[in-house]
Amino acid sequence: MTPAPIAVALDAPDLETAARWAALVTPHVSTVKIGLELYLRYGPDVIASIRGASGVQIFLDLKLHDIPNTVAGAAKAVSRLRPSILTVHAAGGPAMIQAAVEASPNTKIAAVTVLTSLSETDLDRIGLSGPADEAVRRLAAMSVEAGATALVCSPHEVAAVRAEVGRAITLITPGVRPAGADTQDQARVATPERALADGADLLVIGRPITASPDPGATAATIAASLRRTA
């Protein structure tokens, strides 16, 4: 059975917990996501520990954002870990995105457009011209022109971004919550079924799976629901 297009966010308090979650969900999902906190706490070894013998795809979500030369060096340093996906902030600009792409040719560089935790009020306060869907569309177009082959956007913008960039670009959507789940700190959310229907390729789901009593069973249930609606 083909694993579902889900990246489980392993936002765990320790490496042992993250590895346990990964082992439980890997039979059901295509990808696991390692974020900044886990990477900084345990370093590069975290990837080998999480990947294990399963061969699951690793989504390294570091959201690099610095001058192009620094981001190029960082991307080259982590490319030896063979992540399938590495994130950079689109707001770093086209030269920075291009530097990351050139430094890690075997890794899919995903440009993060607008964080799903940001509301319209937040965008106004940080000086990013909105509304959110228009800001995301502009950043998406710029990132693809700079060489990014994947984009991170909320489910609310995924249909507009798909129309903007076409089918060749991988769209990754955080802020995905099964019906009835707590939205927690996400401001722009949707169900997995809705996100896929609107054009997403990979759904990032964290706490609805990892905070459940049985992460493996929850991942299997969500995967089955996606297969029924495919």
Q: Which residues are identified as catalytic?
A: 63
Which segments of 141-228 are extended strands (E)? 150-152, 170-173, 202-205
Kindly state the helix (H) or strand (E) to which residue 11 belongs, with its residue range: none
Query: Using CA atoms, how far apart are residues 64 and 59, in angstroms rounded to an integer?
Result: 13
Tell me the one-letter amino acid at 6: I
Query: Using CA atoms, how far apart are residues 27 and 23, in angstroms rounded to an integer?
Result: 8
3-class SS at 219? Answer: helix
The CA distances from residue 27 to 3, 177, 213, 230, in Å, are 7, 20, 17, 19
Residue with tokens 């049985």: 214
Question: Are the C-beta atoms of residues 135 and 113 closer than 8 Å to each other?
Answer: yes
Cβ-proximal residues to 221 (8 Å cutoff; 6+ apart), any chain: none
What are the residue ranges of helices labelled H in 52-188? 68-79, 94-103, 120-126, 132-145, 158-165
Q: How far out from the chain centre does Cα 166 lie? A: 19
Query: Using CA atoms, how far apart are residues 111 and 97, in angstroms rounded to an integer?
Result: 8
